[in-house]
Amino acid sequence: QSVLTQPPSASGTPGQRVTISCSGSSSNIGSNYVYWYQQLPGTAPKLLIYRNNQRPSGVPDRFSGSKSGTSASLAISGLRSEDEADYYCAAWDDSLSVHVFGTGTKVTVL
Amino acid sequence: EVQLVESGGVVVQPGGSLRLSCAASGFTFDDYTMHWVRQAPGKGLEWVSLISWDGGSTYYADSVKGRFTISRDNSKNSLYLQMNSLRTEDTALYYCAKEGYGIEFDYWGQGTLVTVSS
């Protein structure tokens, strides 16, 4: 039930800035907070951003989130090799009464 | 330290049943809503179900509604997922996740693998 759309892939060289978009609708992103999760290869997902732009303790400030209307984005600045992972956005959907995840974006560090 | 440990994943035939468990520790279990999230092999994350702190409210993804039942036993700090009428498309790694102060999943278990195959 992926109603949030993300680009399948993104890439950059070390030190560059990478941005991942997440497109939804008025019933999810448009009316609720957006969350971002990082999933390193072979591991469980980890909370990266909550309430659109807040970082849990321990998450580097290289990661930042924003939201505008029915879209959101995650930016990774100063890209590092350990940032190679899959990234998912998520939100509650008021119409469906379910949590919805984005389709996921694989970030590659060239 | 918050810990979530899932168990119960096995190989089961289509149409079969299975119960997953999640043992929680390191936090006051009955203060928090809990979730199940799954990930099919090589695929993205799919939210499955949630249960409120007291078990009074439950929600399900359309893909599992009527077949799966989420429950919890606060006296045992445990979360469960009863899975009936299993289909091949239910094959996935099932994660137990704790909800934070908002509706974020702030802690995840390592997952338990369910394979539905004849």
Cα–Cα nearest to A99, from B31, B47, B45: B47
- Is 80 exceeded by the pLDDT of residue A2? no
pLDDT at residue B102 in the model: 81
- A102 and B44: CB-CB below 8 Å? yes
Contact list, A96 vs chain B (CB under 8 Å): 62
Cα–Cα nearest to A22, from A46, A2, A47: A2
Q: What percent of chain B has pLDDT over 90?
A: 97
Is B89 an 8 Å CB contact of chain A? no
Helix (H) or strand (E) holding A76: strand A71-76
Q: Give which of B46, B48, B105, B106 to mutate to test A binding, by max A Cβ within 10 Å.
A: B105
- B108 and A50: CB-CB below 8 Å? no
Q: How far is B43 from chain A (nearest CA, A)?
A: 9
* Average pLDDT for chain A: 96
Q: Give A91-108 pLDDT, tens digit per residue.
A: 999 999 999 999 999 999
Among chain B residues, the shortest Cα distance to A45 is held by B108
- Is 70 exceeded by the pLDDT of residue B66? yes
- Is 60 exceeded by the pLDDT of residue A1? no
pLDDT at residue B78 in the model: 98
Q: How far is A79 from chain B (nearest CA, A)?
A: 23
- For residues B45-71, average pLDDT: 96
What whole-number distance in Å separates Cα of residue A63 and Cα of residue A17?
Answer: 10
- A37 and B110: CB-CB below 8 Å? no
pLDDT at residue A3 in the model: 83
Residue B74 to residues A101, B4, B79, B81, B100, Cα–Cα distance (Å): 28, 14, 8, 14, 17
- A88 and B35: CB-CB below 8 Å? no
* Average pLDDT for chain B: 96
Is A101 an 8 Å CB contact of chain B? yes
- For residues A27-35, average pLDDT: 96
How many A/B residue pairs have CB atoms within 8 Å? 65
